[in-house]
Amino acid sequence: MSAVSANVSNVAAAPQPAARSQRAGSIHRGAEHTRDLELHCDVVVVGSGAGGAVVATELALAGQRVIVLEEGPHLTAAEHGALRPSESIRHVWRDAAMTIAWPLGDTPPINVTAGRVVGGSSTLTGGVCFRVPEHVHEVWLGERGLPADLGSKAMEPCYEAVEQAMHVETVPVSARSRGAALFAEGMERTGHALHPMQRNTHDCKGEGRCNFGCPHGAKKSVDQSYLPRAVAAGAEIYADSLVERILFDGDRAIGVEGWVLDNPRAKKRLRLRVKARRVVVACGGMHSPMLLARSGVGKASGHLGKHMTLHPGFRMIASFDEPIFGWRGAMQPAFSDDFHAERITLTGLFIPQGVIAATMPGAGKRHVERARNLRHLAMFGGMIHDDGGGRVWRGPGREPVLTYRMAREDRAAIPVIIRRMAETFFAAGARECFLPVLGLEPVDADGLRKLDLTKIPAKQLECSSQHPLGSCRMSATKESGVVDPEGRVWGTRELYVVDGSIVPTSLGVNPQIGIMAMATRIVWRMRERALV
């Protein structure tokens, strides 16, 4: 029996939490507090997204006193679902979705988005649920030298636990929008196939706005699937709480300090200090390395803040003669891994009409005419399994500065992914396609054939990312990474990092389930380790 399987057995046989943890906890907003906060707990978790929510829930269920600190506000699912997309961007998305990974060399600028809210980026995903591909697990065990219990078979119980908690289900073909159905037709005509997507949803109504808050609460992100269980087991969640530094006694982490914020202005209002017997950092790929650096740890290997992967993504919009109503259906219902050998994954995609209209090319009357054509538009997306050329730097303000140098083979994949998506839509009967090239007018099939995509400068490419990973990567030795295979920061005691920043390599697929499965593996071991 593997170590992870043994932990599953321990879970099944675990005693009920102590009476103390059966008292329900609370979610606190910053405005509730009138004086500086001095708190005490067994474990403080900094960040409430995919990694932090798993850790907080499992430890609270095990009877430990857990405090979760989240910089962003707390919105219920109903409150978030009632916001317009523009309001969601202002109040829930970090830096109003304006973070850029600045290009180095022959690289496009990349818009990197993340959540700043109770539930973290999990609240902003399309609900896509991929396990880490087996070949990626093999790289971890082979090239990276990580232990066997990080293999795909050994991790099976972790995946199963997360998928059950998140209500992961297969999107039926009937839930595909007309645009996704047309893309599937194009794939078939070009000798390829789409496969049904798995998503963490329940009773999805197919309104196509998962990234901006589901109006029906159908997406079971961690704010709905994990954190309520943590609170029911006694965890205390403090929204509007900015952590600036980890506290130490020698090499042992003993708590954190920072500020209670006055959101939505994010002004520092009251001092915050939490004393804890164990500290878990779960701030994500952009902010976890920043917090470690400000606290003077994690730098010894020279890898802190480096090796960030992004899965550079590109969208394709196609216009058809027939009305499509692309927003009617699951936002991300299908995918294709047929082009895995070319470093490409294609995934279904649609975004709210207002967001699409704002990004249509042209100005004035021409722009208005194209915006009126929204009902005829279909969309699909794709991303590249990149090699990790990103870096996180300390910026002049609260947000980090990101830079990214695209590997040569990744840069070569961009024309391929753009052409494949456009050709697929044309095979399905599209009249014209809007390529992700700034300043380029839409092209028809003949125009695409004549266009040399390899000649388009990188700075003209429209590129985005929702998956910053690897900036505090897990490693087999203290010389090759930031955290050990148990998630502990090398050279420290009682300090863990459990989020996307520890992922050892690029995944090539949406990372939510992979991050949560890794967090499950770590926390199952953590809860068996005595608190001192």
- Catalytic residue IDs: 467
**Which residues pair with residue 261 across a beta bridge?**
268
Using the CB atoms, write b or e for 461-478: b if 16+ within 10 Å: bbbbbbbbbbbbbbbbee
Query: Cα 346 to the chain's mean position, in Å?
Result: 17
Nearest one of 236, 244, 241, 239 to 270, comparing CA atoms: 241
**Which residues pair with residue 111 across a beta bridge?**
100, 464
Residue 148, amino acid: A
Helices 178-189 & 408-427 angle (0-180, nearest 10): 100
Tell me how crowded residue 109 is: count the other CB atoms within 10 A of its CB.
18
How open is the CA angle 90-308-148, to the nearest 5 degrees? 120
Query: Cα 490 to the chain's mean position, in Å?
Result: 25
| Contact criterion met (CB below 8 Å) for 236 and 272 | no
Nearest one of 224, 115, 213 to 165, comparing CA atoms: 224
Strands 37-46 and 267-281: parallel
Unique residue bearing structure tokens 């289900």 = 169
| Contact criterion met (CB below 8 Å) for 260 and 241 | yes
Nearest one of 65, 182, 163 to 431, comparing CA atoms: 182
Residue count of the chain: 532
**Which residues pair with residue 43 across a beta bridge?**
66, 278
Spatial neighbors of 6 by CB under 8 A, at least 6 apart, are none
* DSSP run (H or E) holding 369: helix 364-371
Cα separation, 317 vs 332, in Å, equals 15
Cα separation, 332 vs 355, in Å, equals 16
